[in-house]
Structure 1
Amino acid sequence: MLVVGDALLDRDISGRAERLAPDAPVPVVGHARRDARPGGAALAAYLAAADGRDVTLVTALGADEASDTLRELLRDRVRLVEIPLRGQLSCKTRLMADGRPLLRLDDGDGRAGGATEAARAAVAAARAVLVADYGRGTADALRDALTRRAARVPVVWDPHPAGGPPVRGTCLATPAASEARRFAAAHTDTRTDTDTDTATPFDTRTDTDTGTGTDTGTDTGTEAPSGAAGRPIDDRPRNGERPRNSRRSRNGERPADAGRPATDAGRPATAPPHEPRGRLGEAAHDARVLLRAWDVTSVVVTLGEHGALLSHGETPLLVPAPWRAQGDPCGAGDRFAVTAAGMLADGALPEDAVRGAVDAATRYVTDGGAHALIHDDALATRPGVTADGDAEDDALDMARRVRAAGGTVVAAGGCFDLLHAGHVELLQAARRVGDCLLVCVNSDASVRRRKGGGRPVVPAADRVRVLRALECVDAVAVFDEDTPERLLDELRPHVWAKGGDYALSDLPEAALLESWGGQVVLLPYLDGRSSTRLVERAARPPATTSRGGHPDATADRLTR
């Protein structure tokens, strides 16, 4: 994969705030730890390399200390193709107290110089391109080469208000909702009455968010940046915007988004009567406007904790986040774009790429975001779980994190062929026992050995997906053996939960749990619920009708 864009250097000064300063009402941060990590397009390249991809980064670097630090961070991971940098590399330093940012200090106002022949050659040879534009000129310097390449290979473009628009033929543009508002507003004045979009199902949702927030991520350059339409960008926070929970965050670089209309060149923040209201309606409208204005194949508007909305020009596809992630969102936009670009490079459809990207960005935030990069060189983020082995890795990671935090790891297991109320009751009860629930699921081969040749009815991949959709389930792992001892030995849960229809003598894993101080517990079981009974009932012919016109209940009594 080729990544083209503006590299940044991100630094965190992290500590604990336990008191206020005596001379001013400000927190005192002690026990400080200083760390550096790649930022901007460099973070995108780093993430792609962590996914196992061969990555080349075309970016502007100079002779300053920050550029040298970034080169060292990328060494042996990413191939660098440098173009000249005029000025010093942008460096963003966050002061963190107890995992929360207190302030950010920005240094360096360097911009990309002209393109080099090596950079043009890298674009011409790329099999897939991700443009991570941070408004500092790298993408603009290579615009002609990117336009030519977009006609041949998938190009994903993550735009910036201070940069140019995606080149014609871009496969997927990935603006955040606040950015899409600004970009679309710049083209609204040129629209005629015949361009007015018709309402979609998303238009019926009203925006009830009345909170206010302060933008801590506004870029502070020496010149007022201009957007894709050449107009000055108003970087002040909007009414009702929140910097963390209502949008994706791209390395702390982007203004907050609560899905409200942006002000552009003095225009009021109230949408004209013909424009749809509500976050989803605005995103669908803006995506349609940008598809026409930019002449790209698809636009996906990222909605932070609400997921993403993909548009090809007709009825959009809404991809909700799999859960509401709590954590540092810094860099989640890069995680999203990298995953989407990688999946498109592998031949995935845009719909599948967006689903994978939403899952990856959500997990990235849950796992600690960009701040976690300095503690886990493997990055602990993946572009989506598609195989049993990946699912097992998820469960192992979850068990490790909960144990490290002093929590209680609970595991439960079974075939879960046809999920029913008895399963749900057991899993909900097991989750209440501890701090996370890991579900161990028999593979298809294991189920066949236990249940017979006609089982499972539902393949393992679908069973895993259904289980992971339950709020009480934190991770799922698949085992191929007849019993889960091998998997349990790797997970080492504190508690192994089974339904009350089992006897302890029926559980060979009980001795294994005791070997590391674990405990097997039996939980209340809803009598009469069984996947086997459901299969048998479905295989019977339809019930006959009695003389009174009611179904004959005789054949159904055994399974009630």
Structure 2
Amino acid sequence: MTPRTPLVVVGDSLLDHDVSGHAERLAPDAPVPVLVRPERSARPGGAALAACLAAADGREVTFVTALGDDEASRTVREMLRSRVRLVETPLAGALARKTRVMADGRPLLRVDDGDGRAAAATREAEEAVAGARAVLVADYGRGTAGALREALTARAARVPVVWDPHPAGGPPVPGTRLVTPAAAEARRFADRRTAGPGADDDGGDGLHSGPRGAAADATGLRRAAADARRLLDLWDVASVAVTLGEHGALLHQGGTPLLVPAPYRADGDCCGAGDRFAATAAGRLADGELTELALREAVDAATRFVTDGGVHGALRDPDTGDPDTGPSAGPRELIRRVRARGGTVVAAGGCFDLLHAGHVDLLQAARRVGDCLVVCVNSDASVRRRKGGGRPVVTAADRVRVLEALDCVDAVVVFDEDTPERLLGELRPDVWAKGGDYALSDLPEAGLLESWGGQVVLLPYLDGRSSTRLVERASRGAGTGPRSATSPRR
């Protein structure tokens, strides 16, 4: 794996609390829900969450933030201890805390307290910014970015800086590579309105915040494009990406804006999705990617973040050895959630080189068998061993991308062996689905599935469809020709 470029994150920490339970009745003395069997949890919030998510991507993170001697500061400091290199600046007052009361996964109430603000910069903080190879600023309006504004301005002239703005904070420094406001924030900044002390200091949750469908129509897109265009000039920055909730993000660099839609509609707790978006974009720009590609990966990452359980799924304790990310983190979390509600996990596998109608028909049928479908895909090396030196025609990364775009596919995992037994042993699906052109005797996976009570099933397969046949026809330059019913099908 190519080493990832270290990242400096600058911004205001919060301490987030959740009180989660079930609402089964209304109180007798007032028409309000009664929360029963509550569970309490705490996690880093604000810029501290963004720093943890960047570190969970496998990169070295230096986090510059203001912390004090209050209880909330001590709690956040301990949470960050094993995740990031912490560079503290002094905090005047108590660290801000945000408490959500949740009933059956939906927020009922939020309580904010703590008025602490960054008191000043320190030499160590300024040196951390001056030596950064890339910077993410998560400005939650509590003064950390303002205290380091001169150092950030100087660094923005030399390295990529991504600025995630919030209504109570200030504008990004000139020369910032990418600014990532949500649609409502972009509207507010473009109108030159400023937030007062009572403003929402966390600015929503970026990619999945705001009214559902807020930018779904042409009017919403025109407004977002106009706001982004104005902010480019107002702030003197290279690009503005306005996040549009479930509809993705709109990138403006001058000229015609680029719309990057979300790969699918994600249902779940969206708290922290904006931080996931900004952390991914900053990391990929740090690694040298073009802004358009970094934005596409950021949209995909934020969507997966919501699907995989949001902050509760992402912020596992690193001391447990349970990885936060990796090729199988998403599928494993998906399988865990499906099983928790008594659902059936279906898996299907193959090379899927030159995806065709036969593949799609098989995957749609497999998805109808259960409650989620995980597709196991042969790596490039595995395909070469099975098909020969000229294959695959399509790389594993692109095959995964195409498969993930299918509505019937919930997750995709790549395996490097010739057959998927090892991966199946890890995922332990309830059903392993194959096309009807296979015989059970040809499937070494059958006995494996039986060992944990799983079942292999054959599904109807459209006759005559074959990636190999398509490759042969293309190599001969024959646009039409008879299909062979006996040709290889994978």
After TM superposition, is the score higher than 0.5?
A: yes
Report the counterpart of residue 432 of structure 2 in structure 1. 496
Which structure 2 residues correspond to residues 439-518 of structure 1 after superposition, within 5 A? 439-518=375-454
Report the counterpart of residue 192 of structure 2 in structure 1. 186
Report the counterpart of residue 319 of structure 1 in structure 2. 260
- Give, as a single letter, the amino acid of the residue that structure 2 aligns with 1:419: L
- Give, as a single letter, the amino acid of the residue that structure 1 aligns with 2:297: G
Change in 2 beyond 3 A, CA 1:457/1:363? same
Change in 2 beyond 3 A, CA 1:257/1:423? closer
Q: Distance in 1 between matches of 2:246 and 2:409?
A: 19
Report the counterpart of residue 399 of structure 1 in structure 2. 335
| 1:36 paired to 2:36 | no
After superposition, give the CA deviation of every residue in 1:296-349 in whole Å (9 maximum; x if it has no partner): 111111111111111111111111111111011111111111111111111111
Shift of 1:464: 1.8
Shift of 1:58: 1.7
Contact 2:305/2:314 (8 A) holds in 1:
no
Q: Distance in 2 between matches of 1:315 and 1:406?
A: 47
- Give, as a single letter, the amino acid of the residue that structure 2 aligns with 1:441: V
Q: Distance in 2 between matches of 1:357 and 1:308?
A: 9
| 1:61 paired to 2:67 | yes
Q: 1:160 aligns with which of 163, 166, 170?
A: 166
Change in 2 beyond 3 A, CA 1:541/1:156? closer
Q: Distance in 2 between matches of 1:541 and 1:372?
A: 49
Counterpart of 1:391 in 2: which secondary structure?
coil
Contact 2:375/2:413 (8 A) holds in 1:
yes
Contact 2:207/2:277 (8 A) holds in 1:
no
Report the counterpart of residue 100 of structure 2 in structure 1. 94
Q: Distance in 2 between matches of 1:472 and 1:256?
A: 27
Report the counterpart of residue 287 of structure 2 in structure 1. 346
Q: Distance in 2 between matches of 1:478 and 1:493?
A: 16
Change in 2 beyond 3 A, CA 1:35/1:126? same
Report the counterpart of residue 278 of structure 2 in structure 1. 337
TM-score by length of 2: 0.90
Change in 2 beyond 3 A, CA 1:67/1:557? closer
Shift of 1:374: 6.2
Contact 1:360/1:381 (8 A) holds in 2:
no
Change in 2 beyond 3 A, CA 1:57/1:446? closer
Contact 1:35/1:374 (8 A) holds in 2:
no
* Larger-Rg structure: 1
Shift of 1:435: 1.1
Which structure 2 residues correspond to residues 238-387 of structure 1 after superposition, within 5 A? 248-249=208-209, 259=214, 278-372=219-313, 382=325
Report the counterpart of residue 270 of structure 1 in structure 2. none
- Give, as a single letter, the amino acid of the residue that structure 2 aligns with 1:248: H
Q: Distance in 1 between matches of 2:469 and 2:338?
A: 37
Report the counterpart of residue 538 of structure 1 in structure 2. 474
Percent identity among equivalent residues? Answer: 73
Q: Cα RMSD between the aligned structures?
A: 2.5
Q: Distance in 2 between matches of 1:105 and 1:396?
A: 33
- Give, as a single letter, the amino acid of the residue that structure 2 aligns with 1:361: A
After superposition, give the CA deviation of every residue in 1:104-141 in whole Å (9 maximum; x if it has no partner): 11111122212222222222122211111111111111
Contact 2:464/2:483 (8 A) holds in 1:
no
Shift of 1:538: 2.6
Counterpart of 1:127 in 2: which secondary structure?
coil
Q: Distance in 2 between matches of 1:402 and 1:283?
A: 36
- Give, as a single letter, the amino acid of the residue that structure 2 aligns with 1:345: A
- Give, as a single letter, the amino acid of the residue that structure 2 aligns with 1:73: M
Counterpart of 1:278 in 2: which secondary structure?
helix
Unpaired runs of 5+ in structure 2?
Answer: 1-6
- Give, as a single letter, the amino acid of the residue that structure 1 aligns with 2:376: C
Report the counterpart of residue 147 of structure 1 in structure 2. 153
Report the counterpart of residue 482 of structure 2 in structure 1. 556
Q: 1:520 aligns with which of 444, 456, 462?
A: 456
Unpaired runs of 5+ in structure 1?
Answer: 188-225, 237-242, 250-254, 261-275, 383-389, 544-552
Change in 2 beyond 3 A, CA 1:315/1:541? closer
Change in 2 beyond 3 A, CA 1:449/1:115? closer
| 1:117 paired to 2:131 | no
Q: Distance in 2 between matches of 1:284 and 1:292?
A: 13
Contact 1:10/1:36 (8 A) holds in 2:
yes
After superposition, give the CA deviation of every residue in 1:397-453 in whole Å (9 maximum; x if it has no partner): 433333343221111112222211111111100001011111122233333333333
Shift of 1:102: 0.7
Change in 2 beyond 3 A, CA 1:557/1:247? closer
Report the counterpart of residue 3 of structure 2 in structure 1. none
- Give, as a single letter, the amino acid of the residue that structure 2 aligns with 1:116: T
Shift of 1:379: 8.9
Q: Distance in 2 between matches of 1:5 and 1:25?
A: 40
Counterpart of 2:192 in 1: which secondary structure?
helix
Q: Distance in 1 between matches of 2:385 and 2:119?
A: 65
Q: Distance in 2 between matches of 1:526 and 1:428?
A: 12
- Give, as a single letter, the amino acid of the residue that structure 2 aligns with 1:293: L
Q: 1:419 aligns with which of 347, 355, 369?
A: 355
Q: Distance in 1 between matches of 2:91 and 2:332?
A: 43
Contact 1:364/1:381 (8 A) holds in 2:
no
Counterpart of 1:438 in 2: which secondary structure?
strand
After superposition, give the CA deviation of every residue in 1:342-393 in whole Å (9 maximum; x if it has no partner): 11111111111111111111111111212445666589765xxxxxxx4344
Report the counterpart of residue 79 of structure 1 in structure 2. 85
Change in 2 beyond 3 A, CA 1:537/1:258? closer
Counterpart of 1:556 in 2: which secondary structure?
coil
Q: Distance in 1 between matches of 2:352 and 2:343?
A: 26
Q: Distance in 1 between matches of 2:226 and 2:455?
A: 55
After superposition, give the CA deviation of every residue in 1:510-548 in whole Å (9 maximum; x if it has no partner): 1111111111111112122222222233333558xxxxx
Q: Distance in 2 between matches of 1:379 and 1:24?
A: 44
Contact 2:16/2:98 (8 A) holds in 1:
yes
Contact 1:161/1:233 (8 A) holds in 2:
no
Q: Distance in 2 between matches of 1:379 and 1:99?
A: 24
Q: Distance in 2 between matches of 1:542 and 1:374?
A: 53
Q: Distance in 1 between matches of 2:17 and 2:338?
A: 27
Change in 2 beyond 3 A, CA 1:489/1:285? same
Counterpart of 1:30 in 2: which secondary structure?
strand
Q: Distance in 2 between matches of 1:458 and 1:304?
A: 31
Q: Once structures 1 and 2 are overlaid, which stretch shifts more, 25-34 or 364-373?
A: 364-373
TM-score by length of 1: 0.79
Counterpart of 1:528 in 2: which secondary structure?
coil
